[in-house]
């Protein structure tokens, strides 16, 4: 999966613009190294010609690989994800050391933007174009170019090259370094055929190891995950075993990190000299002491007036800001997202759609401390059948299926039901009634062939994504919002919609009358409408240089393909969204802060955009802490720093009330009394310290 597809959406990709993946540094497998002077091995036999692409448990596309020479391949890769998805045709030629000497890739990316990528290497120089932009550099020895718009087969080729590389390490182009660790083997059976496959972990690309399955001879066999899998046709039945083996490796790794990175004080923990953010009143209180005993806050008050227990660990903050842990109210957890959240001060998340078994297991590991991650509030998704249906196991097309789905979620502790785009409008009132009878909130995309007004009148308590507010006024233009038209229609007509218009004011009154909550995920639309290919995403320049190399590359993918002559229109549409966001706040409509994007890091950007829209930073911080807790009925135990509440706090180097950008400088996180050092968490996921960021990246002003 391409870095463009990886960078923004680090969680199960339901609603937003980007995609996610996994990888951090790991130890090279020295036993697999080949001496520099060794004669080149014969190339591995060509891999199976045809692969199934499985998305969310259902086949959604294909990958075919054809050997066109001893070290040359032609690859076709495509899949459909609700009208989105890549279609790539690539020719690859390898050198004697199994690294690429020529790559040509054409087609379209996940958001249907054109792809024309080229790479060529001579003995002394490598050049590339397309993808993240043109470049060239001198090279010698082993070096591997992983295409910007790559396929799972490309990662398999990298893994195979690493098996043969001296020391199990290869320099990456344009930059970086990859290493490989052999994890384990499986003996698989399909019919009368047996196959031995090897799980390897490629490190140095992203936040956690990229896991790939190779044949015994080092050829690509499969790339497996609970979201997107590529496996040889005829071997689909092996997927549960592949996933189980990967999950076991991840569980062991997560447990080791949790044990080494989390610190639980033996006695009490006290913060003194804190500038404490009072989330109840949205003010900053200087000179405060906070005492934590066990998992709860024991005392809060002015320095010198709060007794610090004997033997307590005392942390002198010297004016740094102490805040309640942040809430991200729109995530889709997966992979390393839990650690990313904690490393960025996010101590509670609301998961808005996920595989139930995977999510419940992840939540349990966070709760019992065997993995690092936030508290998880559960929201389950329902969708109907159709060509743009969400990739979930069970569809809801009948009243009986609606009842079964709601009861199943309620039985497993879910507190919210998310209605997706392909649900029949006539089922919405029933779903809302059934969910409310179980004490669950109701939210979602506004289903196709409905307006936001109808959705609220039929029982929705909340609407996900700001575009659905705009689509309420574009119903004559686009009724079927299952497709990417729900983005492009707003991009082309959003600037025509002004909050002062009577039709908008009427909708605001309806929201207020029904106590409707909005979950704008405004950062998603900045990502879709504003960036252009080759430039770092707005607001990410200062961070990009600290991130793993493939994540960094993905931040320059650009947004939606912009039709000729409509560049300014798309940017104007995003400005209109910021204006609408402020108008909703001014009208008193309750809103929650969610990202639906890269875990952890994106919440700071979401909150910065709210401040850029004109909402006071203190109120933004209140919404992102106590506001989320209150909406989910957890305000008595979470969301503010007060005696008796659960000890979820963060230390920030700076004053985010005066400058919301200070939220990017979280130093310490406490979740339930367990203390985490953010620099240590960053090292574990390959994030460099602030001083090591790439000097070529600018923090100049964002222009829309």
Cα–Cα distance measured from residue 74 to residue 63, given in angstroms and rounded to the nearest whole number? 11
Q: At what angle do helices 522-529 and 485-493 cross, to 10 degrees?
A: 80
Instruction: Let me know if 318 is exposed, middle or buried by CB neighbors in 10 A (0-12, 13-18, 19+).
Output: exposed
Tokens of 80: 């459909």
Closest to 252 in 3D by CA, of 195, 211, 206? 211
Pick the residue with more confidence: 195 or 701?
195
At 470-527, the pLDDT tens digits run 999 999 999 999 999 999 999 999 999 999 999 999 999 999 999 999 999 999 999 9
Judge whether 466 and 517 are in contact, CB under 8 Å.
no
CB atoms within 10 A of CB 680: 14
pLDDT band at 556 (very low <50, low <70, confident <90, very high): confident
In the Cβ-directed half-sphere of 480, how many Cα atoms lie within 13 Å?
Answer: 8
Domain coordinates in residue numbering, the chain: 23-224, 325-637
DSSP-assigned letters across all residues of 392-442: -SS---SHHHHHHHHHHHHHTT--EEEE-TTS-GGGHHHHHHHHHHTT-EE
Task: Evaluate if residue 16 carries a pLDDT over 70.
Answer: no
State percent of the chain over pLDDT 90: 80
In this prediction, residue 690 carries a pLDDT of: 78
Mean pLDDT of 136-144: 92
Q: Kindly state the average pLDDT of the residues 35-62.
A: 68
Strands (E), 151-295: 169-173, 177-190, 193-203, 210-215, 220-222, 228-232, 262-263, 268-278, 283-293
Question: pLDDT tens for residues 396-406?
Answer: 999 999 999 99
Measured CA to CA in angstroms, residue 430 lies from 101, 423, 461 at distances of 59, 11, 14
Is the model's pLDDT at 98 over the cut of 90?
yes
- 337 or 18: whose pLDDT is higher? 337
- Give residue 353's Cα distance to chain centre: 13
- Paired tokens of 26: 């790991």
Q: Could you give the residue ranges of the DSSP H alpha helices within 262-384?
A: 337-343, 356-368
In whole angstroms, give the CA distance from residue 532 to residue 570.
11
What element of type H or E holds 94?
Answer: strand 87-94
- How far lies 37's CA from each of 28, 165, 324, 349, 358, in Å? 19, 11, 58, 53, 46
Reference 23, options 666, 550, 647; nearest CA is 550
- Check residue 391 and give its pLDDT: 85
Residues 6+ apart with CB under 8 A from 553: 3, 4, 7, 131, 132, 148, 174
Going by their DSSP bridges, the two strands 375-382 and 346-351 should be labelled as parallel
- Give rounded-to-5 percent helix, strand, coil for the chain: 30, 30, 40
Domain 325-637 fold? TIM Barrel (3.20.20)
* pLDDT 10s digits, 150-160: 999 999 999 99
Q: Residue 32 pLDDT more than 60?
A: no
Mean pLDDT of 567-579: 97
* Backbone phi and psi for residue 392, each to the nearest 5 degrees, phi listed first: -125, 160
Region of 683 on the Ramachandran plot (φ > 0 left; ψ -120 to 50 alpha; else beta): alpha
What is the C-alpha to C-alpha distance for residues 315 and 335, in angstroms, rounded to an integer? 32
Mean pLDDT on 426-433: 98
Strands 177-190 and 169-173, bridge-based pairing: antiparallel
Kindly report which listed range (448-457, 471-480, 534-543) carries the lowest average pLDDT score: 534-543
Q: Is the pLDDT of residue 29 over 90?
A: no
| Percent over 70 (pLDDT), the chain | 91
pLDDT 10s digits, 210-266: 999 999 889 999 999 988 999 999 999 999 999 999 999 999 999 999 999 999 999
pLDDT at residue 655 above 90? yes
Position with higher pLDDT, 29 vs 589: 589
Closest to 469 measured CA to CA, from 378, 572, 579: 579
User: With contact defined as beta carbons under 8 Å apart, do 512 and 589 qualify?
Assistant: yes
Q: How confident is the model at residue 43 (pLDDT cuts 50, 70, 90)?
A: low
Is the pLDDT at 11 greater than 70, yes or no?
no
Average pLDDT, the chain: 90
- Asked if residues 98 and 90 have their Cβ atoms less than 8 Å apart, the reply is no
Residue 505 in 3-state DSSP? helix
Using CB atoms within 10 Å of the CB of residue 72, give its burial: 0 to 12 exposed, 13 to 18 middle, 19+ buried. Answer: middle
Q: What is the mean pLDDT of residues 76-101?
A: 94
Highest mean pLDDT among 2-16, 347-361, 522-536, 546-560: 347-361
Contact by Cβ (8 Å): 600, 589 = no
Confidence check: pLDDT of 6 > 50: no
Instruction: Identify whether the C-beta of residue 87 lies closer than 8 Å to the C-beta of residue 64.
Output: no
Name residue 675's beta-bridge partners: 263, 670
pLDDT greater than 90 at residue 131 = no
Report CA Rg, the chain.
25
What pLDDT is recorded for position 691? 60
């Amino acid at each position: 999966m391409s870095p463009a597809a990886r960078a923004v959406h680090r969680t199960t990709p339901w609603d937003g613009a980007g995609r996610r993946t996994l990888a951090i540094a790991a130890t090279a497998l020295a036993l697999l190294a080949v001496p520099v002077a060794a004669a080149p091995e014969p190339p591995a036999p060509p891999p199976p010609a045809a692969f199934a692409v499985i998305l969310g448990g259902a086949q959604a596309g294909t990958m075919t690989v054809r050997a066109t020479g001893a070290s040359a391949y032609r690859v076709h890769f495509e899949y459909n994800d609700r009208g989105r998805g890549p279609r790539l045709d690539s020719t690859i030629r390898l050198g004697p050391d199994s690294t690429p000497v020529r790559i040509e890739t054409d087609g379209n990316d996940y958001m249907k933007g054109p792809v024309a990528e080229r790479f060529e290497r001579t003995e002394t120089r490598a050049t590339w174009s397309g993808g993240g932009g043109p470049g060239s550099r001198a090279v010698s020895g082993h070096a591997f170019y992983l295409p910007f718009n790559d396929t799972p087969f490309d990662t398999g080729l990298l893994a195979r090259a690493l098996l043969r590389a001296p020391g199990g390490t290869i320099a990456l182009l344009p930059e970086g370094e990859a290493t490989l660790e052999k994890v384990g083997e499986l003996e698989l059976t399909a019919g009368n055929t047996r196959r031995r496959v090897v799980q390897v972990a490629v490190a140095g690309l992203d936040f956690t190891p990229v896991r790939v399955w190779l044949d015994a001879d080092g050829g690509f066999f499969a790339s497996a995950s609970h979201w997107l899998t590529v496996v040889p046709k005829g071997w689909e039945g092996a997927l549960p075993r592949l996933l189980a083996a990967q999950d076991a490796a991840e569980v062991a790794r997560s447990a080791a990190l949790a044990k080494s990175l989390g610190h639980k004080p033996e006695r009490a923990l006290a913060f003194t000299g804190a500038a404490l953010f009072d989330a109840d009143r949205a003010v900053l209180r200087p000179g405060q002491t906070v005492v934590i005993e066990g998992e709860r806050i024991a005392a809060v008050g002015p320095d010198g007036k709060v007794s610090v227990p004997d033997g307590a660990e005392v942390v002198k903050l010297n004016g740094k800001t102490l805040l309640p842990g942040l809430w991200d109210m729109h995530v889709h957890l997966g992979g390393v997202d839990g650690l990313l959240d904690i490393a960025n001060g996010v101590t509670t998340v609301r998961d808005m759609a996920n595989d139930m078994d995977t999510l419940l297991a992840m939540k349990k590991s966070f709760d019992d401390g065997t993995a690092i991650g936030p508290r998880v509030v559960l929201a389950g998704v329902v969708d109907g059948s159709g060509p743009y249906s969400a990739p979930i196991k069970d569809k809801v097309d009948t009243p009986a299926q609606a009842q079964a789905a709601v009861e199943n979620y309620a039985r497993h502790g879910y507190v919210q039901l998310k209605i997706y785009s392909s649900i029949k409008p006539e089922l919405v009132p029933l779903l809302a009634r059934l969910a409310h009878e179980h004490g669950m909130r109701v939210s979602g995309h506004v289903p196709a062939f409905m307006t936001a007004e109808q959705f609220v009148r039929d029982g929705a308590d909340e609407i996900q994504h700001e575009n659905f507010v705009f689509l309420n006024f574009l119903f004559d233009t686009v009724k079927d919002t299952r497709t990417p038209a729900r983005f492009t229609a707003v991009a082309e007509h959003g600037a025509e919609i002004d909050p002062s218009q009577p039709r908008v004011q009427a909708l605001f009154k309806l929201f207020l009358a029904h106590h409707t909550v909005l979950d704008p995920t405004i950062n998603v639309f900045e990502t879709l409408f504003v960036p252009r290919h080759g430039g770092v995403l707005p607001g990410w320049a200062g961070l990009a240089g600290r991130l793993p190399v493939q994540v960094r590359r993905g931040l320059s993918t650009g947004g939606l393909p912009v039709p000729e002559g409509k560049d300014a229109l798309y940017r104007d549409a995003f400005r209109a969204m910021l204006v609408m966001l402020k108008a909703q706040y001014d009208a008193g409509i309750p809103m929650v802060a969610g990202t639906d994007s890269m875990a952890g890091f994106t919440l700071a950007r979401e909150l910065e955009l709210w401040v850029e829209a004109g909402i006071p930073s203190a109120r933004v911080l209140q919404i992102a802490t106590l506001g989320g807790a209150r909406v989910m009925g957890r305000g008595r135990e979470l969301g503010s720093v007060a005696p008796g509440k659960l000890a979820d706090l963060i230390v920030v180097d700076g004053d985010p009330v005066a400058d919301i950008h200070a939220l990017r400088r979280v130093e310490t996180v406490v979740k339930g009394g367990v203390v985490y050092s953010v620099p240590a968490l960053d090292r574990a996921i390959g994030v460099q310290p602030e001083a090591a960021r790439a000097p070529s990246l600018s923090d100049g002003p964002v222009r829309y």
